[in-house]
Amino acid sequence: MRKHRLLTATALTLSLGFVALAGAGGQAFAATTISTATTTPVKTSTTGDLTVSAAGSIAVTSGNAITVDSNNSVTLNGKIDMLKSADGSTGILVDGGHTGNLTISANITVTDDYTQLDTNKDADGKDAPDGILEAPFSDTKTRYGIHSTGTTPFIGNVDITSASTIAVDGNNSYGVRFENNIQGNFTMDGTVTLNGDNSTAVSLENGATGNVYLSGAITAHGKDSGAVKLAGDFGGNVIIDGTYTGTGYATVNALGADALKVVLATPADLYQAGPLVSIEGNLAHGLLIGSTITADTTDANKNNTDQDGNGIVDANQQTANLTNYGAAPALRIGSATSDITLGGLVFNSSALPANKPAINYGLWVRGGITGLGVYQDVDNVAVQLGGTGHAVNIANGIGIAGTVASTAFGGDATALSVQDGLSTPLLDVTGVIRGTAVSATTLASTDADGTKHYTTVGDTTAHGVDILAGANLPIINVKAGGGIYAAATGSTEHAVAIRDLSGTLTQINNNNIISATISASDDNVDGTADALVNRPIAIDPA
């Protein structure tokens, strides 16, 4: 009779009331489905394999909505709401290393009860709202969407599907954080929105044995915050093709002269984010910043669903768009604690020659990476390789088939910064590397008679590729269709397409464009373009 009752309970769609009864009796179900709204947290040690159906939901305001504390899987098709939640609130906690799969196809919302304010005041200290909401962007509490703790590996696959949105508010917070190793694949194809300082949307801190595919969309808003951190050892392919955006600024919109003057005088509007994507671990199969491809539909290949051989179905891929506003790079590769290596990319036998590089680069950029300084006195770097205090070895070289671009206004702009500790045999460019620096002219004061006075921040530099002392990059190949550009606007600006301060660059093969240009501007706003002070430099050797 007891066996019969267990089989009957397992076969049913169970409400939380049945879960509580089973737990009270000391008997765990083989599987449980929550198909109604509940305000009680659950543990897999009680539920067994857990499914929250599309009709189900869990709403709590503290603690953990779901705790994985046993070798069971969780499938989330119904939402987790933790609105106005307490410090430490977590949508799904994986308590130590367990075996199972996590499949997330619904929203996880772990947010605060904080309202941003427009705190701008005039010269007399009176409220003078300018329409810009100042930092902070969240309260100071720490929250998690998904959090896996401990040092014992999580054994299983993690799949955050395109049907999910993870929203988290708070300082020192995370959309998804795995402190332990993942023995399996990790896929992020959903949306993560993160508000708060010193926070990370997706942080895998102890590597993964399987493939890591980071797609979808991420927005990270806060001082020293970012979208992705990868540390530890990664044994499979690592592919990023999502649309990820980060900033610590209150606004990144174009502003008129008066509004810009106010922002520049408001420190809470100008906080700096951290690196958008930070690679701090060993990637055995290198790093691919991906893109869509044009499928070959001829009879010979029409049934080939992975024509670039990267292990992802071609129809599911996006073109990466990584954009960071501020001084921090959109992509940084380097660790402050250990030397790291990016091995060569690995492709499946399904790869067609047109979609596979002749060299299995350690870093291949097919998508777009963009850095924008936005405000004056902010130097911007789009991609930083090395410079973190430990060696970075990128096997077989770097390929740029997409776009790497940096733009600064009243600051230096460097598209690709090759820094101390970086070693790689070559840089192949079939896409575009572009640094753009523009002098910044702002309104300083206005006289009683209406006469306006301006100040200009200039004498800054646009760099395409900048190789610093301590780096090792012996060969640059600009191939057909490729280009390295430095473009500056302003009478006192500088432009250098390739600069080598390392003394290691011994060969440049140019089959298309290496270009440096400087355009005049009217820095004093008198209606006449000012004479140029400097000359552009295409190649500046050590």
pLDDT (average), residues 496-522: 97
pLDDT per residue over 439-465, tens digit each?
A: 988 777 888 888 888 888 889 999 999
Inform me whether the pLDDT recorded for 401 exceeds 70: yes
pLDDT score, position 30: 78
Cα separation of 312 and 293, whole Å? 12
Model-level pTM? 0.92
pLDDT (average), residues 16-40: 63
Mean predicted lDDT score pLDDT of the chain: 92
Instruction: Determine how β-strand 440-446 pairs with β-strand 452-457.
Output: antiparallel
pLDDT score, position 415: 98
pLDDT score, position 29: 54
Structure-token match 């329409």, residue found: 131
Inform me whether the pLDDT recorded for 501 exceeds 70: yes
Which range has the worst mean pLDDT, 98-107, 120-129, 186-195, 355-364? 120-129
pLDDT score, position 513: 98
Collapsing DSSP states into helix, strand and coil, what is residue 373?
A: coil
Contacts of 24 (CB under 8 A, 6+ apart): none
Inform me whether the pLDDT recorded for 233 exceeds 90: yes
Fill in the DSSP letter of residue 165: E
Inform me whether the pLDDT recorded for 261 exceeds 90: no
Which residues pair with residue 245 across a beta bridge? Answer: 219, 323
pLDDT score, position 140: 94
Residue count of the chain: 542
pLDDT score, position 265: 84
pLDDT score, position 264: 85
Are residues 308 and 314 in contact, defined by beta-carbon separation less than 8 angstroms? yes
Model confidence at 255, pLDDT cuts 50, 70, 90, reads confident
Are residues 152 and 182 in contact, defined by beta-carbon separation less than 8 angstroms? no
pLDDT (average), residues 239-267: 88
What tokens does 435 get? Answer: 């640094």
- CA angle, corner 376, sides to 120 and 335, nearest 5? 105
Cα separation of 363 and 351, whole Å? 18
Inform me whether the pLDDT recorded for 185 exceeds 80: yes
Question: φ and ψ at 408, to 5 degrees?
Answer: -130, 150
pLDDT score, position 173: 98
pLDDT score, position 266: 85
Q: Order across the sheet with 233-234: list the strands.
A: 233-234, 282-283, 340-342, 392-394, 422-423
Indicate the residue type of 227. Answer: A
Inform me whether the pLDDT recorded for 219 exceeds 90: yes
pLDDT score, position 125: 77
The larger pLDDT score, comparing residue 190 to residue 15, is at 190
Collapsing DSSP states into helix, strand and coil, what is residue 4?
A: helix
Q: Closest Cα to residue 271, out of 168, 145, 132?
A: 132
Inform me whether the pLDDT recorded for 310 exceeds 80: yes
Are residues 100 and 122 in contact, defined by beta-carbon separation less than 8 angstroms? no
Instruction: Determine how β-strand 108-110 pairs with β-strand 165-169.
Output: parallel
Model confidence at 202, pLDDT cuts 50, 70, 90, reads very high
pLDDT score, position 461: 97
Question: φ and ψ at 490, to 5 degrees?
Answer: 145, 145
pLDDT score, position 263: 86
pLDDT (average), residues 15-26: 36
pLDDT per residue over 97-149, tens digit each?
A: 899 999 999 999 999 999 888 888 776 778 878 788 888 899 999 999 999 99
